[in-house]
Structure 1
Amino acid sequence: MEKLRQLRRAKDAMDRDWADPDLDLAAVAAHAGYSRFHFIRAFKETYGETPGQYLSRRRIERAEDMLRSADLAVTEVCFLVGFSSVGTFSATFKRQTGLTPSEYRTRHVGRGTALIPGCYALLWAGGFPGTGRDRNS
């Protein structure tokens, strides 16, 4: 029971801090009180995927929401969901969804409400780190 509680603590940290590009395996493992390698094994045994796979999946799910609902460039979405490389973001997105981010937007925009203007989405998300306009500066 204690093992599950520790793993849930780490999973909660990933769910809470998914957009933080500095969220890494060592930080998440520390939430669970495990070494990195023991944490990977225990997490995969419990949840069926590695912590890295889980975090990437969560980030791509958030990116899908943004691409459907906000008028933001793919690059902006990439950084807002915690990726630090557009190439890595695009490859991960395509692997998970079968479409590039641009193809995904083209296929899914227009099926619901109008896109939220990018300036509002950025304001809500806190802007980009390091620009002096984000909530955490």
Structure 2
Amino acid sequence: MRPRERHTAKPPAESDSSLDIDQLLDPVLLRRLLRAKDRMDAASHETWPVERLAAVSGVSGAHFARSFKRAFGVPPHRYLLTRRIEQANTLLRDTELSITDIAFATGWESLGTFGRIFHDITGRSPSAMRREARAGMQQLDRVPACLLKAAQRPDLTIAVLEKRRRVAQDTLPPSTREEVS
């Protein structure tokens, strides 16, 4: 640790996003954050409050939340939403499970909440997403799965509620993944 750097004020033009990740997180903390992230990936259907993730990482809740966002670019809850929506997309595309079963299998406690957040993030309802995915399935057979997954990753750079507010006020341009009718 370099105490002098920690207590020195940053110049106004410099922000955390412009700093190298090595300067922001020590390797031990980064390994602990990765451990929590791996646990969320392995069991994204479970409830993951910040306190539980912090316990996995061995740090306080507030420190975990700040460090996770700094390391991965999104808060832990938004990361978990991304994983759940990715899994739901996969299940909608590849299985015959009902939408209700998919909602509960991916960790949602309410079908209504699942449908609303799924629509807010993807711009389509789960049933519309299933129809579109199946219609375009033959065209995507030759594309590697890793590329498909990256291309279909939900756009969660801003919070869902903030996005909903901006769309209602017509101040947010639609993302490339949304279709405006």
2:71 pairs, out of 46, 49, 56, with 46
Q: Secondary structure at the match of 1:109?
A: helix
For 1:76-135, what per-residue CA distance to the aligned partner results, in whole angstroms no more than 9, with x for missing partners? 10000111111221122112211111111121124337xxxxxxxxxxxxxxxxxxxxxx
8 Å contact kept, 1:17–1:23: no
Out of 24, 29, 32, which is 2:49 matched to? Answer: 24
Partner of residue 63 from structure 1, selected from 88, 92, 106: 88
Q: TM-score with structure 2 length normalisation? A: 0.58
- Structure 1, unmatched stretches of 5+, are 114-137
Deviations 1:14-72 (A, max 9, x none): 0111122x332221111111222221111001111000000110010000000011111
- Work out whether residues 19 and 59 of structure 1, in 8 Å CA contact, stay in contact via their aligned partners in 2: yes
Matched, 1:2 2:49: no
Q: Distance in 1 between matches of 2:117 and 2:53?
A: 21
The 5 Å alignment of 1:1-137 reads 1-20=27-46, 22-112=47-137
Q: Could you say what the CA RMSD is over the residues aligned between the two structures, in angstroms? A: 1.4
Gaps of 5+ in 2: 1-26, 139-181
The one-letter code sitting in structure 2 at the alignment partner of 1:10 is: A
Relative contact order: is structure 1 or structure 2 higher (C-alpha 8 Å, sep ≥ 6)? 1
Q: Kindly indicate whether the alpha-carbon contact (under 8 Å) linking 1:59 and 1:82 is maintained by their aligned counterparts in 2.
A: yes
- Give the 3-state SS of the residue equivalent to 2:52 in structure 1: helix
Aligned equivalents of 1:13, 1:108: Cα separation in 2: 28
Give the alignment's TM-score, normalised by structure 1: 0.76
- Percent identity of equivalent pairs: 38
Name the amino acid aligned to 2:131.
T
Question: Which protein shows a greater Rg?
Answer: 2
In the aligned structure 2, how far is the partner of 1:89 from the partner of 1:50?
19
